[in-house]
Structures are given as structure tokens and as C-alpha cells.
Amino acid sequence: MTAAMVGWAHLPFGKHSEETVESLIVKAAVDAIRDAGLEPSDIDEILLGHFNAGFSPQDFTASLVLQADPALRFTPATRVENACATGSAAVHQGVRAIATGAARFVLVVGVEQMTTTPGPEVGRNLLRASYLKEEGDIPAGFAGVFGKIADAYFQRHGDQSDALAKIAAKNHRNGVNNPYAQMRKDLGYEFCRAESDKNPFVAGPLKRTDCSLVSDGAAALVLTDPATALGMRKAVAFRALAHVQDFLPMSKRDILKFEGCQQAWGKALGTARLSLDDLSFVETHDCFTIAELIEYEAMGLTREGEGARAILEGWTEMDGRLPVNPSGGLKAKGHPIGATGVSMHVLTAMQLTGEAGGIQVKDAEIGGIFNMGGAAVANYVSILQAMK
């Protein structure tokens, strides 16, 4: 155990036109430091996860965290970016700062404001997380990338429309009880399964209910070393973490295997000396329902091509053998790019300390997180366990 979370904060995700990137950062940072029982002057290093890629005209944002309190002035602050895994990249960098002894308390903030950007521009910004040389002309932006993946999966393993609708319905049902979720509505399986005016096809076999939400939001957490954490009010330790980076072009790999995800899970579970059966729940990166389906296979829950079993047989439901996305996932919670990975860590810590309220997994002891950037290019896994 190289580091522990000792404080956190999570703003509601959604459309916040009255906010700015700066105001979202400040609110999350202030709340996380206060939750840890610290003063701003206690913070030794700051890491900000902010993808941007054109969403905000303010592109140099690391020092905006200092706006949270004058005492943060002169504290080292660095912006971290790794596409949709930006938040977890910042968290992992923070853990390294603690593990090396470079800092005693690290503040990590993740933020994005997307809804003030026109729809077509949102699509162009997100497509920058693909290999533009080969994938830049795919229709429908990043949804088109995953629509292409879904098409190929259906061709290899058969029509998975029932499974995708079940995943969407599960995550929306879970999100109803998440006060931070952008969409707190149980859409039901039938609505998610059927094409309609309100649920049209977006790309390939993917309908609107298969796609995560454009969102604004921020989350933050405070890290310290395990010895210091034991003397604090609450502490959630990193049992293991792994980062695996794969080729950017989809043409250079079998895109249906998410091999980087598989490698990251293998490394993290091996370091933690755990198996998937030891986990109480998983928060995984369901930017599109086809991603969650393939991630079932990559994490080792099912064999290749059999991911549908996990959802159709109820394994990943709240009362199943391994609840997946009890928060509602990106599907219901929203996906403000830079905030997503930090949000996953915060909500997992809440589960492990019994603070998760209506989305609480019964007797949660160990939580797993998978956050990815691009189409399984940047792959981050964290395994967390409460220390006290």
C-alpha cells in the first residue's frame, strides 16, 4: 500500500452553464481539503486532470487550483492529460508523488466543462482521442469509432443488441440513486432496446442509450502515505495500480480484445495478490455499452466473445456476483472527460467507507476501477481497500 485517500469531494455532473472550469475546480478543491480535515497550507503538490482539447478557451489551467485559497500559492501544480483516462492519470501521478516521498499531501482535481460547446464541435474535440490519420473521417465522431467496434463485434460473436440494452438499463437504474448523476431516470430495458424517435441509432448498432452523456463536472481527492493516513478520520488505500498504454491506431491491434485493459487488470490483480472474485464491485469505463461488454471479457469475468452472459445472467447487477457500475457509470452519471477518473476513485472510496447512500454495495470491502482513454489505448486500473 503506497498511498491512501483521506478526503474527497464530488460535484453533481450535468449541464452547468452558470459555472466555469475555474469555479468547478475551486469548489471541488475546497471541499476535498476540508473533507480531509486539512488546511490548504498542508498541501505539498497539486495535480489537475483536464482534457480540454478545445472545450475551454483557457488551456493553461494547472494554476487555477490555486484560486481555491491564497495559501496554495507557490505549491507545485501540474496539469495531466491522457484522453478519457485523464482523471486516473492524475490520480496515479499523485500516488507516485506520495510513494517516492516527494510529497506528504497531494491534492488531485479532475474537471471538464463540455456542454457550453456546440454539438458538432464536441464531436470533433472527442475524435482527437483517436488516430486521426486513419480514423479521423469516421462518421459520427467518437461514437462512430465505437459503432465500428460494435459492428465488428456483432460480426464475430453475433448480435448483442439485447446485452447492450441490458447494460444501458442496468446503469440507468443504478444512477437513479446517485445524487451526483446527470441522468437519474430508470429508462427500462424495453426503451433501451427499441429504436424510437427518442432513442435513434447514432452509429452502427449503437443507439442514443448506448452512448455516455456530454457533461460538466469536477471531483477531487487528497492523498497521503499510509502511516499518516492511519491517524486521520478516514483512509482508503491503494492495494495496487497499473497503467498500460497500447497503440493508438486501431489497425495495429485486435480492437475487439481490449488487450491493454486485460494487461492492466492482470498487473493490478497480480500486484494486489487478488483475483477478480475478491472484488466487491467494479467501476468500469462504459463510455459506450459495447465498451462495458468487452471489458467484462478483458477483466476476466467471462471468456472472449461471451461477455453478454455477465449481463444477461445478472452477474453485474447490484445484487450479482460482481456489481459493475453501481454509480450508474458514465452512462447515467455523465462523462466530463477530465473529471471521470477522479470521480471513479471518489465514488469507490465512498463505497468502501459506507458513505455511498442509495448506491451502496452491501459489505463492500475491495473495489476495482478501470478507466480508459481512447479505444482502450490508455488503460488504468486501481484496486482500493479501506484502511479504517
Q: How far apart are CA 196 and CA 11, in angstroms?
A: 32
Q: How far apart are CA 45 and CA 72, in angstroms?
A: 9
In contact, 287 and 335? CB cutoff 8 Å: yes
Q: What angle do CA 25, 29, 34 make, to 5 degrees?
A: 155
Helices (H) and strands (E) in the chain, counts: 13, 11
All three cell numbers of 157: 460473436
Phi, psi of 243 (to 5 degrees): -130, 125
Phi, psi of 184 (to 5 degrees): -105, 65
DSSP secondary structure code for residue 213 in this structure: P
Sign of the Cα torsion 252, 254, 259, 261 reads: positive
Listed residue (133, 115, 288) closest to 201, CA to CA: 288
In contact, 358 and 208? CB cutoff 8 Å: no
**Identity of the amino acid at 13:** F
E strand or H helix that includes residue 155:
helix 141-157
All three cell numbers of 87: 482523471
Residue 210: is it exposed, middle or buried by C-beta count within 10 angstroms (0-12/13-18/19+)? buried
- So which residues are the catalytic ones? 84, 335
E strand or H helix that includes residue 385:
strand 378-386
Phi, psi of 368 (to 5 degrees): -110, 145
Q: How far apart are CA 150 and CA 231, in angstroms?
A: 48
Which positions ≥6 away from 115 have C-beta within 8 Å? 15, 16, 17, 214, 215, 216
The alpha-helical segments, DSSP class H, found in 36-140 are: 86-99, 119-127, 132-135
